[in-house]
Amino acid sequence: MNLPDAAGHYGPYGGRYVPETLVPALDELTAAWQAARRDPVFAEELTRLLTRFAGRPTPLGDALRMGADAGGCRIALKREDLCHTGAHKINNTLGQVLLARRMGKRRIIAETGAGQHGVATATAAALFGMPCDVYMGALDVERQALNVFRMQLLGARVVPVQSGSRTLKDAMNEAIRDWVTNVEGTHYIIGSVAGPHPYPAMVRDFQSVIGDEARAQILQIAGRLPDAVVACVGGGSNAMGIFSAFIPDRAVRLVGVEAAGYGLDTGKHGAALARGRPGVLHGSKSYLLQDGDGQIIEAHSISAGLDYPGVGPELAWLKDEGRLELRQATDDEALDALGYLARTEGIIPALETAHAVAAARDLARELGPRGLLLVNVSGRGDKDVQQLRAASQERAATRTRRRPAGKRPATRPRKHSPRAKRNPQSTRRSP
Amino acid sequence: MTPPPDRIQAAFSAASKRGSAALVTYVMGGDPDLATSRDMALACAAGGADILEIGMPFSDPIADGKTIQAAGDRALASGTTIASCLRLAAEVRKRTPVPIALMGYVNPVLAYGEERFLDGCVASGVDALILPDLPPEEAVSFRTAAASRGVKLVFLLAPTSTPARVAAACDAATGFVYFVSVAGVTGARTSLPADLGAKVKAVRKRSPVPVVVGFGVGTPAQARAVGKIADGVVVGSAIVQRIAEGGARKARAERVRRFVASLARALEL
Question: What whole-number distance in Å separates Cα of residue A281 and Cα of residue A296?
Answer: 8
Q: Does residue B263 have a pLDDT over 80?
A: yes
Q: Residue B106: which of A163, A184, A280 has the nearest Cβ?
A: A280
Separation in Å, CA of A383 to nearest CA in chain B = 28
Q: Does residue B191 have a pLDDT over 90?
A: no
Separation in Å, CA of A302 to nearest CA in chain B = 22
Contact flag A294-B58 (C-beta cutoff 8 Å): yes
Task: Sheet with A228-232: list strands edge to edge.
Answer: A60-62, A74-79, A372-377, A228-232, A253-261, A324-330
| pLDDT, chain B, mean | 95
- The reported pTM is 0.93
pLDDT at A404: 52
B contact residues 46-105, partner A, Cβ 8 Å cutoff: 58-63, 65, 69, 76, 81-82, 105
Separation in Å, CA of B46 to nearest CA in chain A = 31
Question: What whole-number distance in Å separates Cα of residue A174 and Cα of residue A188?
Answer: 11
B183–A contact, CB cutoff 8 A? yes
**Mean pLDDT of the region B233-259:** 97
Q: DSSP code of B76?
A: H
Which residues of B fall within a CB distance of 8 Å from A22?
Answer: 160
Contact flag B106-A17 (C-beta cutoff 8 Å): yes
Which residues of A fall within a CB distance of 8 Å from B110?
Answer: 278-280, 294
Cβ atoms A1, A250 nearer than 8 A: no
Would you state the torsion angle of the CA atoms of residues B154, B160, B161, B162, taken in this order, to the nearest 10 degrees? 170
Report the greatest alpha carbon distance in chain B.
49
Contact flag A19-B158 (C-beta cutoff 8 Å): yes
pLDDT tens-digit series, residues B115-131: 999 999 999 999 999 99
Separation in Å, CA of B233 to nearest CA in chain A = 19
Which residues of B fall within a CB distance of 8 Å from A296?
Answer: 59-60, 107
Which residues of A fall within a CB distance of 8 Å from B134?
Answer: 17
Contact flag B82-A294 (C-beta cutoff 8 Å): yes
pLDDT at A426: 41
B221–A contact, CB cutoff 8 A? no
Residue of B nearest to A21 (CA): B158
The secondary structure element, H or E, covering residue A203 is helix A199-222
Cβ atoms A275, A236 nearer than 8 A: no
Contact flag B59-A295 (C-beta cutoff 8 Å): yes
Length of chain A in terms of residues written: 431
Q: From residue A313, how far is each of A283, A317, B132, B235 by CA, in Å?
A: 11, 6, 21, 36
Residue of B nearest to A14 (CA): B138
A contact residues 13-52, partner B, Cβ 8 Å cutoff: 15-25, 27
Cα angle: B143, vertex B149, B152; to 5 degrees: 55
Q: Which of B58, B62, B178 to mutate to test the interface with A (most CBs of A within 10 A)?
A: B62
Which residues of B fall within a CB distance of 8 Å from A23?
Answer: 135, 160-161, 165
Which residues of A fall within a CB distance of 8 Å from B105?
Answer: 280
Helices (H), chain B: 7-17, 34-47, 66-77, 82-95, 106-112, 114-124, 140-149, 163-172, 196-206, 220-227, 237-244, 249-268
Separation in Å, CA of A183 to nearest CA in chain B = 8
Which residues of A fall within a CB distance of 8 Å from B184?
Answer: 21, 180-181
Question: What whole-number distance in Å separates Cα of residue A292 and Cα of residue A59?
Answer: 45
Q: Which residues pair with A161 in a beta bridge?
A: A137
pLDDT at A427: 38
Q: Does residue B246 have a pLDDT over 50?
A: yes
Give every residue of chain A whose pLDDT is below 50, as ranges.
405-431
pLDDT at A415: 40
Length of chain B in terms of residues written: 269
The secondary structure element, H or E, covering residue A280 is strand A277-281
Give percent of chain A with pLDDT exceeding 70: 93
For β-strands B128-130 and B152-154, DSSP reports them as parallel
pLDDT at B59: 96
B136–A contact, CB cutoff 8 A? no
Smallest CA-to-CA distance from A314 within A11, A71, A21, A95 is with A11
Cβ atoms B226, B213 nearer than 8 A: yes
Cβ atoms A254, A325 nearer than 8 A: yes
Give residue A196's identity as a one-letter amino acid code: P
Backbone angles phi, psi at A54, to 5 degrees: -90, -15
B64 is catalytic: yes
pLDDT tier, B4 (very low <50, low <70, confident <90, very high otherwise): low
Separation in Å, CA of A174 to nearest CA in chain B = 7
A109–B contact, CB cutoff 8 A? no
Smallest CA-to-CA distance from A419 within A137, A170, A173 is with A137
Report the greatest alpha carbon distance in chain A.
63
Counting one residue from chain A and one from chain B, the pairs whose CB atoms sit within 8 A come to 115
pLDDT at A423: 41
Instruction: Count H helices and E strands in chain A, helices first.
Output: 16, 14
Q: Which of B86, B137, B138 to mutate to test the interface with A (most CBs of A within 10 A)?
A: B138
Active site residues of A: 89, 111, 378
pLDDT at A230: 98
Which residues of B fall within a CB distance of 8 Å from A181?
Answer: 183-185
